[in-house]
């Protein structure tokens, strides 16, 4: 198994949910974690907790839909630590509704965050990883990258795209860069809070009764990172037993 100690790991969408749980777990394992999200108050509190517990953490404000901010985020990390080991593209939104509701602004938001955000991460991180000849992209998609359900057509479409991008990136990068797609089933997070459609909100409320703790997804990310350097875990699907 590879050691995670001293690896420099960037996490987008790190202010809550899967991103926060992953930051805390990887820091406990000895990684240098750099948290990115828009809510800097949350990031500061999480980073301070990690540092108090003996870990290494830093944070930067980051809107993944802004290409310049993503470039600055990755450049900052590379300048401070001298390398970029892992970039976890975790930021996402999920304002579900049926297509007939015509919530086009919410459709565009999902495209911007869930697809463009991942593309911006790839565009910022790939040149550095190519130059240093190592690195690992971990893209957090969803079980929605494998199946479609009512109210989730656009969300699933964005996650199908993340899965496709992950596989294409893996095929194109050659032997030195690893790519992992993490596909969580229903998991405790703030994603459902962005749902404005009442019908979709009620459906999701029932669905989330069997939610996994966010740490379960963090554990799958840790597993992928800790594999030997010649082992690329392409995809992990994690769902509740129920």
Q: Is 81 a catalytic residue?
A: no
Query: Which is catalytic among the residues 59, 76, 81, 155?
Result: 155
Residue 61 region by backbone torsions, left for phi larger than 0, else alpha for psi between -120 and 50, else beta: beta
Q: Could you give the 3-state DSSP secondary structure of residue 135? A: strand
Residue 155 CB partners (closer than 8 Å, separation 6+): 94, 95, 96, 110, 114, 142, 144
Q: Cα(82)–Cα(21) distance, rounded to whole angstroms?
A: 25
Q: Cα(238)–Cα(184) distance, rounded to whole angstroms?
A: 5
Q: Cα(109)–Cα(198) distance, rounded to whole angstroms?
A: 18
How many residues can be counted in the chain? 242
Residues with catalytic function = 155
């Amino acid at each position: 198994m590879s050691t995670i100690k001293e690896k420099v790991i960037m996490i987008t969408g790190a202010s809550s949910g899967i991103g926060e749980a992953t930051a805390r777990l990887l820091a406990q394992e000895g990684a240098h974690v750099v948290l990115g999200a828009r809510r800097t108050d949350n990031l500061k509190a999480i980073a301070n907790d990690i540092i108090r517990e003996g870990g290494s953490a830093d944070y930067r404000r980051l809107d993944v839909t802004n290409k310049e901010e993503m470039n600055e985020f990755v450049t900052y990390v590379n300048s401070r630590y001298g390398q970029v080991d892992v970039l976890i593209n975790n930021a996402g939104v999920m304002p579900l509704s049926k297509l007939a509701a015509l919530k086009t602004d919410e459709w565009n938001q999902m495209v911007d965050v869930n697809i463009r955000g991942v593309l911006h991460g790839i565009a910022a991180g790939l040149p550095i990883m190519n130059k240093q000849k190592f690195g690992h992209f971990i893209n957090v998609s969803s079980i929605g990258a494998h199946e479609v359900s009512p109210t989730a057509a656009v969300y699933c479409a964005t996650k199908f795209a993340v899965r496709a991008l992950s596989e294409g990136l893996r095929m194109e990068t050659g032997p030195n860069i690893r790519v992992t797609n993490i596909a969580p089933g229903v998991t405790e997070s703030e994603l459902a809070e962005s749902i404005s459609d009442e019908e979709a909100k009620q459906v999701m409320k029932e669905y989330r009764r069997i939610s996994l703790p966010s740490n379960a997804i963090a554990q799958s990310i840790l597993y992928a990172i800790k594999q030997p350097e010649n082992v690329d875990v392409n995809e992990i699907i994690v769902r509740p037993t129920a």
